Structure formats: structure tokens, C-alpha cells
Structure 1
Amino acid sequence: MDVKEHNTYEEQINKLIERGCEIKSQDYAVNVLKRVNYYRLSAYFLPFKQSDGSYMSDTNLERISGIYEFDKRLTVMLCGLIEEIEVFIKTQIAYYHSLTYGALGYLDSNNFLPTKADKHKDLIDLFNREVQNNSDTLFVKHHNKNYNGQFPLWVAVELFTLGNISQFYSQMTAADKKLICKNITELTGYEYQYKQLESLLFCLTHLRNKCAHFTRLYYHKFGTIPKFPKYVSKEIKINPNNMRIYQYLFILKLLTPVPDRWNNFVTELEALIDTYSQQINLKHIGFPTNWKDELLSSFT
């Protein structure tokens, strides 16, 4: 199969019209396509696409553009909360691992599961590359100069990604995982087992990566099902074949250490949904009609 030929803005617009998308203004359409790649934008037409490839009769570019803007703003909101959770998880893991094994205990594979020795080596090798890549960063220069390139864990985690810290937790012994999980749940106010926390961190990493690259969340189905505690599974509808962003929001709820922060997030989310209520369809992102009550539920 040959690679498709490049299309001008006008040709892209004609393609949309041919498929049934209403274009009310040629100038508006050109401006949209100048800002958003045609291929990227085309993914937002998926809910409106029929079996023959044409679009439903109510499909227009203004609505698609509105859905895109909603998705972008939702992603920005999620990035902010995920960052706070990432810092929180790093803080807890660094504190309790260092308390048990010392500042440099994270470098010793004997302090982790024997079955994860190879993965632990890979993680440390990755960390060392990050040290080299960030050699001009102030705290890296400081530790290279004054501590012979030795980084205590509470400093090292500043170079860890969320994926790294998720892997770090998965490599720890069951006893260490339980201790850290216990302290995390005491701060969040929600109980879950260490294996569930491991799953939540893994899924959160996937969500974080999608947000970091501004990959589409609207109408996206997640392939990995988080291991939620039973009290969550009883409260919300979990369909493994239709895992949308709504279900993934409960990962953030369970991992947010400050209740007011979560409540504020839900308030901001409600305002965002109200702003784009004429463009979006809540079913496309997995939201039930009582979504706000569920997101604010205390699970009692």
C-alpha cells in the first residue's frame, strides 16, 4: 500500500464535506486545520462515523472543534492533578524505603524482590542515564561535585518519571509494599491492598503518558482495567469492554492525598462540562447521569 499524498487545506476541507461534515465557513475551517493537524482532528469524528465511512447528519466542524477543545482542557486539568499525585507517591516511597534501607539502599538489588533483579538493574541504568542527561541541572551538579555523584533516594526520585516510580514499587518486597501502601491509604482516606495500589500506579502511568503527549481521551477505550477495591466496583459501573476516562478518574480519586483538592477538581470538571455541554456527549467518555455524585462519593 502506498503512502497517502499530501492534501492542501482546501482538499482536506473537501474530504470532510464529501463525508458529510457540515462546513459553515471556509475561513473558519482553514483556521482550524492550520492549528490542528487533519489526521489528529479526524480521530474526533469517530463517534459520528457510520459503517460506510460517512458522517452522521448532525456532524459539523464547529462541534468537532468544540470536542477537541474540551479534550485539550480536560487533559490540562488531569496533568495538574497527576503531577501532585506523582510527587505524593514519590515522597512516600522515598521516605519509607530510605528509612528502612538507608539513603542509597535503592541501589542494592538485595533490597528488592530476587525475581526482579534484572528489572532493577535496568531501572538503575536508566536513572544513571538521566543523571548524565541532566548534568547541567543544579541539584545534579551539586551532588556530582560534593557527594561524588551519589544521590540519596529522596533526591534521586526527582529524576524518576511516574513510570519509573511505579516500576520501583513493583520491584519492592511484599512487606515493603504493604508498609508503604498502609501509609498512603492513611493519607488518602481510602483503603486498598498493595496489589491494588500497584495496579493503580500502573494504570495511572498509562493515563499520565497519554496526557503528557496530549493523546485523545475523548471516546478512547483503555485496554487495562485497574484493580479497584470492591467498594469502588460496587459504586460505579465497570465494563471491561468499555473502559473510558470516567472510570480512570477513580484512580485519581483514590490517590489524591487532600480531599479538598479532589473536590475542587470535580467542581472544575463540572464547569468544563457545562461549557461544552452542547458539543460533547457524556456517554462518549463513560460518564453516567449521576457522575458528580459518584465522583464525590465517600464509598460508605
Structure 2
Amino acid sequence: MPKTFLYYGGIKLTSKIPYDKPPCPDTELLQQLRNRGLDIEDETRTIRYLNFIGYYRLSAYFLPYQSEKDKFRDGVEFDRILSLYIFDRKLKLTLMEAIERIEVAVRAATTNYMSLRTGDAHWFLNENHFDNYSPDKGKSFQSFDGYLQSICSSIDRQIDATPIVHYYSKYSFPDYPPGWVVMEVLTLGQVSKIYSILRTKYKRKIAKKFKTSWQVLEAILLSLTVIRNKCAHHQRVWNVKISYPPARTVLKNIAPQYSGSPNSPCVIYFMIWFILTRINNDSNWGARLCEQLLELDESLLHKIGLDLNEIYTYLIEE
């Protein structure tokens, strides 16, 4: 059999064996869970959740309750797994609420400052305003042409969006809408990358609006982009590790007394809270998040390195 080559992130992967697992009906999946030691009291109810959530999605929540691969610890009930799934779903909603507020604020702060500073509504088309290209960790565009291509593609994909339709139905020139319109059709990832390639003198002024340095704001936007995408695509976040953790020097600005891992879930909460309080210092988001975290089993908190006392200190007491 010839080898099959796959590509992921530019890396060539070789598939070792063909996938030959057949799909299983609900009754077989139910029995499989029982064979692996999971307590199931209500078969009809469990099957309903398997149907409307999916065995594969739920299987990611099995792991904390297993003593070894495909073996549940004694006394683990299906409802404990379901509770963790529901907790994670609610946590995603809480995180998205805050990230949306931050995303909108950064969009506005960036295009407002750049438009007024340059006196040009189409500042985003001027290469002279950008110079920090770098392929490192996907933090920014590698060239101005690559940046423009990404922006143009987003406009094309959103060509039926109301602000875009309004512009092209009324104006014949320039070829692209003004910055404040374009910003509304970009992803948070693109907004983050635009900020990262702006000339440092511009980044510094925009960050000042959030009472921080450009290094801190850039690091936060990079990390929050990943978390935002996980939330939007319904991936697990309760035990997520930050893909691009902030440098220790940056983390010291966000949470000075924190000495734990920089890719811990609690760093996500600290970063969100750090920016959120600079947008609205009366926000109760931190208190609501702390109350929500109390719903998580203490054993699971320790498993992912969450210290509620430390989180409480940064999100409520400060």
C-alpha cells in the first residue's frame, strides 16, 4: 500500500494506518461506556444527550474522570461528565461576553486613532504606516502585500454586509471603504495582526488609550484571538492552555504577584480583566466569573492549576 501524505501547518505527515473504525449506533455506544466503568442510570436520557451533543464531543470530557485510557474511575456517573460539559459551555459564554467588549474597543481605538493621526480615512492602505512584519508564531503578516490580500479577501467575503453594500452603492472611489467600515468586517485575528504590524509609534499611542504598553496589548490580543476562536467553534476552554503565552515581563504587568505557569487558564482571566477594567472600571465580570468557577469540582481546579484565592485576588480585590 502506498504511503499517504497529509499536510498540517506546512508540515508533511505520513499516515501510519488506515482508519477503519465503523460508526456505532446509540445502544452500542451506551454499552461501551458501561463496559468502561461509567455509571448510567437513565438510558433514555443519556442517549438523548449522545444524540444532541455527540459521543465524540463528550468524549473530551471523559478524560478527567478516567484512571487510564478507556477506563473510568469507580463511581463516576454520566451526570458528572455532563455537568463538566455544561460548565464549559457556560464558561465560553462568559469569556465571549468579555472578549467581544475588548474586540470592539480595540477596533474602535485603532481606526479612530489612525484616521485622526494620519488625516486619512483609508490609512490602512498606506504602506508607510506599517513596518513590523514577522512570520514568528503567526503573530503578524509577513509582508504588506500579504496583509492587503487578507484585507481584500475579508471585504470580498462580506460584500453583502450592510456597511459594505452602503459604501459601494453610493461611492465610486476609492476602491475600498474607509477604515472604520473595513474594521467591522475583519476578524479579531486580523485586527490583532494589523495592530502588530503598525509602526511602533502608533502602537504605543493606541495602547496608551488602554493605560498599558504596546507590548502588553499586543500579547493580550494574540492570546485572546486563540481563545475567542476556541469559544466560537465550541472547543473546550475549561482546561485550555494558552497557545502563545505572554512573556514573563508582560505577565508581570498584568498580574504582578502571579508566579504560576504563563499558559495556565487563569492567565486568560487575568488578561481579559486587565483590559476590561480599562474599558469599564465598574465591570462586575470578574465577580461573576469567580462565582462561576466555584461550580467546578475542586479536584478539577487543582488538576488544571487554578487557584481560586489567587483568581479572586486579581479579579475582585484589586
Answering whether residue 209 of structure 2 is matched by residue 183 of structure 1, we say yes
Quote the residue 1:147 is aligned against: 171
Deviations 1:217-269 (A, max 9, x none): 123333321233424443223214xx3322211110111110222xx212322
Structure 2 SS opposite 1:223: coil
61-70 or 49-58, larger mean C-alpha shift: 49-58
Q: Sequence identity of aligned pairs in percent?
A: 27
Quote the residue 1:164 is aligned against: 190
Q: In structure 1, which of residues 36, 46, 55 is the aligned counterpart of residue 53 of structure 2?
A: 36
Deviations 1:142-163 (A, max 9, x none): 1112222431111110011110
Quote the residue 1:188 is aligned against: none
Deviations 1:191-211 (A, max 9, x none): 3x2122211110010111101
CA contact (8 A) 2:220 2:271 kept: yes
Quote the residue 1:132 is aligned against: 156
CA contact (8 A) 2:84 2:296 kept: no
Cα distance in 1 for partners of 2:48, 2:113 equals 52
Aligned ranges for residues 55-204 of structure 1 at < 5 Å? 55-101=72-118, 102-113=120-131, 115=133, 118-148=142-172, 149-185=175-211, 191=212, 193-204=213-224
Q: In structure 2, which of residues 296, 303, 306 is the aligned counterpart of residue 287 of structure 1?
A: 306
Q: In structure 2, which of residues 225, 229, 246 is the aligned counterpart of residue 209 of structure 1?
A: 229
Give the RMSD, CA atoms, in angstroms: 2.1
147-156 or 221-230, larger mean C-alpha shift: 221-230
Structure with greater proportional helix content? 1
What is the deviation of 1:119? 3.2
Quote the residue 1:269 is aligned against: 289
Quote the residue 1:12 is aligned against: 29
Answering whether residue 258 of structure 2 is matched by residue 258 of structure 1, we say no
Cα distance in 1 for partners of 2:267, 2:72 equals 28
CA contact (8 A) 1:21 1:55 kept: yes
Cα distance in 1 for partners of 2:298, 2:78 equals 11
Quote the residue 1:230 is aligned against: 252
CA contact (8 A) 2:273 2:286 kept: no
Cα distance in 2 for partners of 1:52, 1:134 equals 45
Structure 2 SS opposite 1:235: coil
Cα distance in 2 for partners of 1:167, 1:41 equals 34
Deviations 1:160-207 (A, max 9, x none): 11101100011111111111111221xxxxx3x212221111001011
Quote the residue 1:24 is aligned against: 41
CA contact (8 A) 1:67 1:279 kept: no
CA contact (8 A) 1:246 1:285 kept: no
Cα distance in 2 for partners of 1:50, 1:278 equals 17
> What residue identity is the alignment partner of 1:22?
D
Structure 2 SS opposite 1:234: coil
Cα distance in 1 for partners of 2:221, 2:231 equals 15
Q: TM-score, normalised by structure 1?
A: 0.88
Structure 1 277/113 Cα, relative in aligned 2: closer, same or farther at 3 Å? closer
Structure 1 12/269 Cα, relative in aligned 2: closer, same or farther at 3 Å? same
CA contact (8 A) 1:218 1:284 kept: no
Task: Say which structure, 1 or 2, has more relative contact order (CA 8 Å, 6+ apart).
Answer: 1
